[in-house]
Amino acid sequence: MLLLIDHLTRYRYDAPVRGVVQSHRLTPSTHDGQQVIDWQVTVSGGVAGGGFRDGAGDFVQGWSVKGPVSEIEVRVRGKVATTDLAGVLRGHRESVPVEAYLRDSKLTEPAGGLGTLAKVAEGAENRLSAAHLLSRTVTEAVTYTPGATKAHTTAAEALEAGEGVCQDHAHILCAVARANLIPARYVSGYLLADDEGKAHQAAHAWAELWIPGLGWVGFDAANACCPDARYVRLGSGLDAAEAAPIRGSARSTGSEILDVTVAVLATQQ
Amino acid sequence: MTYFNEMYERDQTRPPYAGLAAWMQAMPADLRIQKQAEAEALFRRIGITFAVYGEGGDPDRLIPFDMFPRVFTHAEWAKLDRGIKQRARALNAFLTDVYGRGEIIRAGRIPANLVYQNEAYERAVCGFVPPKGVYSHIVGIDIVRTGPTDFYVLEDNCRTPSGVSYMLESREMMMRMFPDLFRETRIEPVDRYHDLLRRTLKSVAPAKCEGDPTVVILTPGHFNSAYYEHSFLADLMGVELVEGADLFVDGAFVYMRTTEGPKRVDVIYRRIDDAFLDPLCFRPDSMLGVPGLMDVYRSGGVSICSAPGAGVADDKAVYTYVPEMVRFYLGEEPILQNVPTWKCAEEGDLKHVLANLGELVVKEVHGSGGYGMLVGPKSTRDEIETFRLKILKDPSNYIAQPTLSLSTTPTFVEEGVAPRHVDLRPYCLVGERIELVPGGLTRVALREGSLVVNSSQGGGVKDTWVLAE
């Protein structure tokens, strides 16, 4: 499938800021499931710093904008050819040892009801069926409700609330997988929304679990499926904070208003 | 328990201390008191205050200085020198390996979870090789002596070991107060340290650096317990002392604000922890670091010393494997021994520990600051039995070591001179070359019988001599 992505992030500052520095995970890497045909990231008034591919195989690019500015636009436009590999991440070059993904993070701490939820996988015959079982359990435990949670809501809090968005599903799945000693990571990316609006967000997130013999396999508990040709993978981390497509810091005292629009379209050319 | 006295062997003075024996005999009590007061006044005037890394305590407290030097012969030092450098090489080889292919783990010589699930293991630097392959540029190795030829390593400090200012100031102080001592005895100088440190830091400048590298020291600020040392070293090296807010990222490089405009920085000797270095990579709430620094670092625009992630080599649980690192990477036998350590996670070790609780020191694997530990010889039967139950409940959380009989050296006390226990922290520099000045920081437990040299528990410092050949 050919996917066209148009992703615009606009920062407005109530008082001009003296400067902005950002770290981007906004460029998909090419692997067996996705091939980047064309990709462009622009930052209004920005100077690109050194870019590199990190140990997890993600492209990281630094940017800086000299102030004073009161508005910054980060625009991502590109075309990616995708292939359905039933969630398996194949041909992705990376060097971080999988055991490093057994660690907890602040947002995925195995607190509250997560321990009990994780027990569902105890009887599973192998790790793959345990992973599917866990993903299904997370889908059932948390109802998709936009606005029910915030960016810094933890996995345990979202589970307790019983509602959340893709970020919460992915956090909870990471937490319960690690509780079963299955290495797990949070993945951010794009998703082609279907006509019925069942697939929820264009700027999306899911989890990857390590399955011996297969390697990293994606599980999208929010949509009760594994990533297929509708998904574009941007980057990963222990949780949403680490895998964020944009991390930034403005030298200012005022506040910032964020405005994001993402469009993902399928095309024939 | 008997202790090795570094000055006396039965009634005989050991040869390295012969000169000091005469010096001590000749010094009248009133002169001693006068000199001690003089030393204290000097330390106060220059404002040296000090706390050893991780000890806490009042940062503005003056640490007691003891005027009686601690002495090593040339031959004793030669062995320490080789052992320390060997260890520093092995620790750096380990760091390069575990952020690269992880051969030592694939070979089954160190358990994967100990390294990869360690809090100090930084995924952010996997696959990145710092300039010259060096992660830990200043390795502080804590050593205790238990006999004429017996030295043990207590722990390694691979991040930002502090205390070197005290090594330099103690020598300065002694030379100023007792110049005759230094005329009569040939003592190896330590004052090359700052030159070597500057050379070491410059030698790891990134490939993109043009011309003479610009080095800075990055401090968390004046409220930090080692701030005196940060400014002291910056002064000696003739480099800028900066805080995070003095640095900024522009494009692919880091710059420092100066009165003449921005100046590009090539090497940052940081004295702040990994977690605070860059809010865009580590803790988002850090105000001490530089936003975007890690992107510049990982794309080769600046060097950071010690390299982020170096802490995984000085972890307490990883420590037990350092001799294995020496064998694995260098193909050599370790010159300096680890303190024998029993891991309660292993059945045979657990049995030994439980049978000998009264003689052992038992520590929590991830504990620090002396909490949650049992000092067998100083505990009551009840305390020991309570601790036994704790170990049995979760054996893998405990390690045990023998109670070490730290050597003593003569120390000035109120009644005159008396033996007190000491340890040693030398500072090994690793860059293009490995350098070690002959000396280090000797800490002394000033309280009679105390084996705790920590400054927070009544420890002091003294000058450390290595005799010239």
Per-residue pLDDT tens for B241-253? 999 999 999 999 9
pTM of the model: 0.93
Residue indicated by tokens 């090994």: B428
Per cent of chain B over pLDDT 70 is 94
Q: Once rounded to an integer, what is the mean pLDDT over residues A216-221? A: 98
Per-residue pLDDT, B181: 93
Residue of A nearest to B112 (CA): A99
Q: Residue B361 and residue B359: Cα distance in Å, rounded? A: 7
Residue of A nearest to B119 (CA): A103
How near does any CA of chain A get to the CA of B460, in Å?
40
With CB atoms and an 8 Å threshold, state whether A247 touches B280. Answer: yes
How near does any CA of chain B get to the CA of A33, in Å?
23
Q: Residue B417 and residue B256: Cα distance in Å, rounded? A: 51
Q: Residue B134 and residue B415: Cα distance in Å, rounded? A: 49
The answer to whether B97 and A84 are in contact (CB under 8 A) is: no
**Dihedral of alpha carbons B310, B315, B317, B321, sign:** positive
Q: Which of B117, B119, B292 sits opposite A49 (nearest CB)?
A: B292
B345 pLDDT above the threshold of 60 = yes
Domains of chain A with bracketed CATH = 2-80+246-267 (2.60.40.2250), 84-242 (3.10.620.30)
Which residue numbers of A have CB closer than 8 Å to B's CBs? Answer: 19, 21-23, 47-52, 54-56, 60-62, 64, 66, 95-97, 99-100, 102-103, 238, 241, 247-249
Residue of A nearest to B129 (CA): A55
Q: Which of A55, A100, A102 sits opposite B127 (nearest CB)?
A: A55
Q: What is the CA radius of gyration of chain B?
A: 23
Q: Residue B186 and residue B183: Cα distance in Å, rounded? A: 7
B108 pLDDT above the threshold of 70 = yes
B323 pLDDT above the threshold of 90 = yes
Tens-place pLDDT, residues B328-342? 999 999 999 999 999
Helix extents (H) in chain A: 114-118, 127-141, 155-161, 166-179, 240-243
ipTM above 0.90, yes or no: yes
B31 pLDDT above the threshold of 70 = yes
**Three-state SS at B264:** strand
- Report the candidate in A242, A246, A268 with the shortest Cα–Cα distance to residue A174: A242
The answer to whether A225 and A154 are in contact (CB under 8 A) is: no
Domains of chain B with bracketed CATH = 340-402 (3.30.1490.270)
Per-residue pLDDT, A171: 98
Q: Which residues of B touch A247 (CB under 8 A)?
A: 279-281, 284
Q: Which of B121, B284, B294 sits opposite A100 (nearest CB)?
A: B121
Q: What is the DSSP letter of B232?
A: H
Amino acid at residue number B217: I
Q: Which of A23, A47, A96 sits opposite B295 (nearest CB)?
A: A23
The answer to whether A117 and B147 are in contact (CB under 8 A) is: no
Number of H helices, E strands in chain B: 14, 23
B54 pLDDT above the threshold of 60 = no
Instruction: Give the highest mean pLDDT range of A243-257, B29-43, B129-143.
Output: B129-143
With CB atoms and an 8 Å threshold, state whether B248 touches A49. Answer: no
The answer to whether A118 and A176 are in contact (CB under 8 A) is: yes
> Residue B133: which residues within 8 A CB-CB, separation 6 or more?
B92, B96
Tens-place pLDDT, residues A180-193? 999 999 999 999 97
Residue indicated by tokens 């080692």: B226
Per-residue pLDDT, B60: 56
Q: Residue B334 and residue B356: Cα distance in Å, rounded? A: 27
Q: Once rounded to an integer, what is the mean pLDDT over residues A71-92? A: 97
Q: Residue B92 and residue B329: Cα distance in Å, rounded? A: 10
A198 pLDDT above the threshold of 60 = no
Q: Which residues of A touch B299 (CB under 8 A)?
A: 49-52, 62
Q: Once rounded to an integer, what is the mean pLDDT over residues A25-35? A: 97
Q: Does the N-terminal peptide bond of residue B131 adopt cis geometry, omega within 30 degrees of 0?
A: no
Mean pLDDT in chain B? 91
Report residue B280 CA to chain centroid gap. Answer: 30
B371 pLDDT above the threshold of 70 = no
User: How many residues make up chain B in this entry?
Assistant: 469
How near does any CA of chain A get to the CA of B78, in Å?
40
Tens-place pLDDT, residues B263-321? 999 999 999 999 999 999 999 888 899 999 999 999 999 999 999 999 999 987 899 99
Structure tokens that stand for B53 in this block: 């890394």
The answer to whether B268 and B302 are in contact (CB under 8 A) is: yes
